[in-house]
């Protein structure tokens, strides 16, 4: 008799699972329909306020049950899956951020990773973890040439991964092979800023080997001019970052990537 009761309970759970899966599939279909409508009307794709509204509505509707924390955890997971599904529709490839120091690559990449539910890797941080040395220490002990070899190897390895965001150091695009690897599996987005903006952002930063004892407007302008051609050639899209919030920059990247992919 006890085994019969257990089987009955298991069958009931199976029925619940069937309903859950069908309902979840329907929800995901609707998520894609919403995405298509937003793209058609030029509306922002990601709307954190809407997610919060959904969560509050769900918790309010289920306030009579004794599992509020479990329901909250479930809907957080559903929201993450929904964002990931949308991002794969919008950006079915890697996103590679390039640009001069201080243009906001790493901060923007982190924001994009959160919005798109994509993995994020900073190339410099990846190298530091692999070597157990800071970038400044690598430059000081072994020179720029050694660092560039490490950078090339890291970009080659990371570019092979799928659906990720890669933030590259300011000089990564100076190597044509690096650019080839970036473009093979991703879209290269150049973040730009005026020399004055870069100086303001970096004037208290002593971790940049190529700006050591040279954090001044003249030197930054010179380096920008030297790299301008390589930056422009390497990039698929260009985003100006002066006077913009990180949220505005990442939203602009998503919008332009979609438009770029549609044209392709």
User: Predicted confidence band at 2 (pLDDT cuts at 50, 70, 90)?
Assistant: low
pLDDT of residue 227: 92
* Helices H / strands E in the chain, number of each: 11, 5
81 has a pLDDT exceeding 80 = yes
What is the per-residue pLDDT across 103-120, written as a single tens digit (0 to 9) for each?
999 999 999 998 889 999
Q: At what angle do helices 68-90 and 105-116 cross, to 10 degrees?
A: 110
In whole angstroms, give the CA distance from residue 100 to residue 9. Answer: 61
pLDDT of residue 28: 94
Which among 6-15, 37-46, 210-219 has the top mean pLDDT?
6-15
Is residue 257 within 8 A of residue 91, CB to CB? The reply is yes
Q: Which residues contact 196 (CB under 8 A, 6 or more apart)?
A: 217
Q: Which residues contact 68 (CB under 8 A, 6 or more apart)?
A: 59, 62
If you write DSSP's letter for every residue of 86-126 in order, what string do you get? HHHHH--SEEEEEESTTS-HHHHHHHHHHHHT-EEEEHHHH
What's the token pair of residue 42? 């030029």
SS (H, E, C) 144-174: HHHHHHHHHHHHHHHHCCCCEEEECCCCHHH
| pTM of the model as a whole | 0.83
33 has a pLDDT exceeding 80 = yes
96 has a pLDDT exceeding 90 = yes
What is the per-residue pLDDT across 173-188, written as a single tens digit (0 to 9) for each?
999 999 999 999 899 9
Closest CA to 138 of 210, 31, 200: 210
pLDDT of residue 65: 66
Q: Which residues contact 102 (CB under 8 A, 6 or more apart)?
A: 193, 197, 198, 199, 201, 202, 205
User: Predicted confidence band at 255 (pLDDT cuts at 50, 70, 90)?
Assistant: confident
Q: Which residues contact 62 (CB under 8 A, 6 or more apart)?
A: 68, 71
pLDDT of residue 215: 75
């Amino acid at each position: 008799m006890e085994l019969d009761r257990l089987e009955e309970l298991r069958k009931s759970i199976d029925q619940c699972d069937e309903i859950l899966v069908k309902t979840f599939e329907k929800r995901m279909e609707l998520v894609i329909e919403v995405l298509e409508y937003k793209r058609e009307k030029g509306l922002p794709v990601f709307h954190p306020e809407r997610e919060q509204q959904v969560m509050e509505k769900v918790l309010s509707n289920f306030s009579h049950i004794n599992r509020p924390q479990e329901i909250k955890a479930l809907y957080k997971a559903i929201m993450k899956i929904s964002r990931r599904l949308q991002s794969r529709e919008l950006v079915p490839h890697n996103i590679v951020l390039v640009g001069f120091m201080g243009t906001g690559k790493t901060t923007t990449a982190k924001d994009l990773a959160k919005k798109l539910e994509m993995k994020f890797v900073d190339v410099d941080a990846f190298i530091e973890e692999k070597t157990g040395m800071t970038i400044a220490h690598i430059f000081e002990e072994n020179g720029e040439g050694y660092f560039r070899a490490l950078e090339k190897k890291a970009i080659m390895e990371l570019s092979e991964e799928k659906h990720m965001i890669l933030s590259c150091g300011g000089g990564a695009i100076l190597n044509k092979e690096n650019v080839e690897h970036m473009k093979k599996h991703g879209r290269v987005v150049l973040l730009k800023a005026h020399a004055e903006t870069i100086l303001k952002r970096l004037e208290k930063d002593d971790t940049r080997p190529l700006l050591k004892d040279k954090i001044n407007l003249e030197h930054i302008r010179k380096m920008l001019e030297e790299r301008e051609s390589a930056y422009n050639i390497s990039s698929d899209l260009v985003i100006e970052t002066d006077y913009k919030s990180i949220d505005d920059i990442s939203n602009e990247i998503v919008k332009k990537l979609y438009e770029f992919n549609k044209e392709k």
